[in-house]
Amino acid sequence: MKRWTRCLALALLCATALTAEIRTLTILHVNDLHSRLLPLENKHGGFAYLAAMVRRERANCTDCIFLNGGDVAQGSPVSTIFHGLPVFEIANLLGLDAGTLGNHDFDYGWMQARKFLDTAKYPIVSSNIVGADGGLLDPKPFVILKVNGLRVAVIGAMTESLKTLTIPAAMGEWHTISLVETARKYARELKDKSDLIVLLGHITGGEEQELLSKVPEIPVIVSGHIHSGMEKPLTLDGRVVVRVKSYAEELGRLDLKVDTGKKAPASWEWKHMVVDSTQLAPAEDVAAQVKHWEDEVTKQVDTPLAVSKRAIDKRETKLVIERAMREQTGSDFAFMNQGGVRDAIPQGQLLERHIWNIMPFDNRLVTGTFKGRDLPAVVLGDRKVDPDKEYTLVVSDFTAGNQQANENLRTSGLQFPNDVGLMRDVLLDWFRKKKVIE
């Protein structure tokens, strides 16, 4: 009786409190698919197998949504040759409910990224990429998905390091604004319009931590950008961040019990499942599209190139690339950023495709001449140089353009005036001549 009297006085508050309930929600998620349409060397991944797994998880699921944390484009010959568009067409068959943009979705320029937004039949949300006048690149900063009686607001977000991950010509006037401020702004706006807010981010590990601690209004973050998946979710005060392995190696599944009064998870369980192509039957419609597009490139890339006597991991592949860069250009020093090495050298017969997978970017090699004293420490390593003598250094145009970044030369002002060609072609030439990689 007393409770009801109070409720009359606070009608609005009580209405919410009294109707609050627990509802289930399942979020399936992937990130950084990177156009790897076919399974990897380890037989994990492949779009047709990912689709099969998603459909298996979705069967009889009335509370499932499927999200993608960005970077659909870039990473395989189909993407490089056709500038990503077919990959978005195939992604339409995966049954995504929402996605966000990744930095590599800008590799073919912002106008192509706009085409990706138009091509996707699912909403791609991104809230903090703006132009000179502050207008959004993506007309959809968020989407509200209705599932199992819940209104799930999904806000898209891009890492603030976008600038150092792209080249200026690709971005034009478009740049990121504060991740935390933008997330707060939309969380406020969506509070009354939703039962749960999810941030779908293509963000760094530091940014995952920052959002988790500084924006408590957002209880669930589905992340991407870092390619290594999490072993367990990142959590704080009942809030949760999840992310899986890249290249469709894993599918994540976050099962939530949502308290609609608190608009937060009452509990959650998370697992990350390997997309094992040896254990799944491929989804036929997706397999047909994958075959169609792979057939378009196979003549160009599935030609024998060299033989590798052993498997070479990504760190050592960087050294092999640097050696190839030096030898092909006759330079004294070479530097390749580790993040630009997109695959490892497998053992056995190497096809041109392997080099495309390692170096999918249309980066160019550029050289410059510098006094020993001006050579960056990351380039020198243990080698001693004469500070007054001149040396040549070869890098990619990406490294030259973002030389100040940690990932690159950690310096500024170095000029690389000579363009010596498309990096992938230079590498292909080197492997072709070498024939055997020891």
Q: Which residues in this chain contact Zn ion in the complex, by CB under 5 A?
A: 71, 102-103, 225
Residue 106 has which token pair?
A: 């800008």
- Taking the least distance from each CB to Zn ion, the nearer of 71 and 352 is 71
Find the shortest distance in angstroms from Cβ 119 to Zn ion.
19
The three-state secondary structure class of 272 is strand
CA distance 260 to 264: 7
Residue 217 CA to residue 365 CA, distance in Å, equals 46
For residues 104 and 354, which CB has a smaller minimum distance to Zn ion in the complex?
A: 104
Which neighbouring-strand residues pair with 25? 256
* Closest approach of Zn ion to the CB of residue 172, in Å: 19
Q: What does residue 200 show for φ and ψ, rounded to 5 degrees?
A: -105, 105
Task: Name residue, tokens 């944390």.
Answer: 69
CB of 382 to Zn ion, least distance (A): 32
Smallest distance, Å, CB 217 to Zn ion? Answer: 25
- Closest separation in Å from C-beta 306 to Zn ion: 30
Closer Cβ to Zn ion, 155 or 158, answer by number: 158
Whole-angstrom CA distances from 336 to 158, 162, 317, 376 are 25, 19, 10, 13
Nearest residue to Zn ion by CB is 225
Nearer to Zn ion, 234 or 266 (CB): 234
Minimum Å gap between C-beta 225 and Zn ion is 4
d(CA 96, CA 41): 26
By beta-carbon proximity to Zn ion, the closer residue of 225 and 434 is 225
DSSP for 34-89, please give it: TT--S--TTSB--HHHHHHHHHHHHTT-SSEEEEE-S--S-SSHHHHHHTTHHHHH
CB-wise, 157 or 366, nearer to Zn ion?
157
